[in-house]
Structure 1
Amino acid sequence: MAWIVRIALLAGGAAAAWFVAPDAPNYSIVQGMMTVLIIAIAVFAAALIRRR
């Protein structure tokens, strides 16, 4: 489970770096928001795949 969270945070960090500089004070908040968005998209995609 920990490696799934690390991969999600890595992807969230990469997405957040597109919008906010990594040394900005609010970078961790944006990274967390991007991570939650990526997880929500993955869950939504899994639900759509299972629906078929």
Structure 2
Amino acid sequence: MLGWIVRILFAIAAPITALFVSRDTLNFGLIQTVVTMLLVTAIVGLVAAYSGRDRGIPH
């Protein structure tokens, strides 16, 4: 299950990385991994911000 999530994130990160670095370069995989980690960080941040928001309950 975790492997599927990682594959999906790498599939999303590949075109984003290709915007900045050619796929033929030797460090494409390394940069793709960094972009994937940034995506994971963004997703976790969005989930934390959504779960921590005020639900409109008066104090």
After TM superposition, the score normalised by the length of structure 1 is 0.93
Alpha-carbon distance in structure 1 between the residues aligned to 2:45 and 2:11: 20
2:49 match: 48
Which has more radius of gyration? 2
> Which runs of at least 4 in structure 1 moved beyond 3 Å after TM superposition?
none
The percent of aligned pairs where both chains have the same amino acid is 31
List gaps (5 residues or longer) in structure 2. Answer: 54-59
Q: Which structure ranks higher in relative contact order (CA pairs < 8 Å, sequence separation ≥ 6)?
A: 1
* CA distance, structure 2, for counterparts of residue 5 and residue 28 of structure 1: 14
Report which of the two has the higher share of helix: 1
2-structure distance, mates of 1:14, 1:7: 12
TM-score after normalising by structure 2: 0.83
* Matched residues, number: 52
